[in-house]
């Protein structure tokens, strides 16, 4: 597992993370300062870990015939800046300078379109299984790196910015554990 570099590069990439470019990104609005970090959880197929489903979804290569659930996702265009696998490996899909399509219809503290001013981090997981220790360690490390570049004011779950639509990262995500790791 590669060690994450101490800072982002000038083009918004994370040294030590595997980079796989997602087409599901675009320019941020010129006046949109990054101030929010959104934690998500995803597994494809649902509840299964270690496969290429998420990578294929974020790169528009998901075969709708590979699993019955994938038919529901056919044509969906989504991405995230980062994906932390169960083993702690980190894949970056979108440079932080660009807008990833992770939040969808969303709002936070009176502001709509959270993709404009946030970074999205997906954890390989689901609502009903605990996340791994190394995922928390990697997430805390990534947050510290991102805070060196951006004035991250808050860290929230996808369920916080889209409560009528989303439940992730779910009840098994331990926010207290993350806070403790961030204090180290």
| 72 is known as an active-site residue | no
Are residues 168 and 41 in contact, defined by beta-carbon separation less than 8 angstroms?
Answer: yes
Catalytic residue among 48, 72, 112, 122: 122
**Catalytic residue set:** 122
């Amino acid at each position: 597992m590669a060690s994450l570099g101490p800072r982002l590069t000038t083009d918004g990439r994370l040294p030590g993370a595997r980079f796989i470019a997602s087409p599901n990104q675009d320019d941020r609005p010129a006046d949109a300062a990054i101030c929010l970090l959104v934690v998500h959880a995803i597994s494809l197929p649902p509840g299964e870990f270690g496969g290429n489903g998420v990578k294929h979804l974020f790169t528009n290569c998901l075969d709708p015939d590979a699993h019955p659930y994938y038919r529901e996702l056919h044509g969906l265009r989504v991405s995230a800046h980062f994906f932390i696998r169960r083993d702690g490996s980190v894949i970056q899909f979108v440079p932080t300078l660009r807008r990833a399509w992770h939040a969808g219809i969303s709002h936070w503290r009176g502001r709509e379109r959270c993709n404009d001013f946030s970074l999205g981090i997906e954890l390989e997981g689901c609502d009903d299984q605990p996340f791994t220790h190394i995922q928390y360690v990697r997430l805390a490390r990534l947050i510290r790196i991102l805070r060196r570049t951006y004035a991250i004011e808050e860290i929230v779950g996808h369920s916080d910015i889209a409560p009528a639509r989303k439940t992730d990262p779910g009840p098994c995500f331990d926010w207290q554990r993350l806070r403790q790791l961030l204090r180290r």
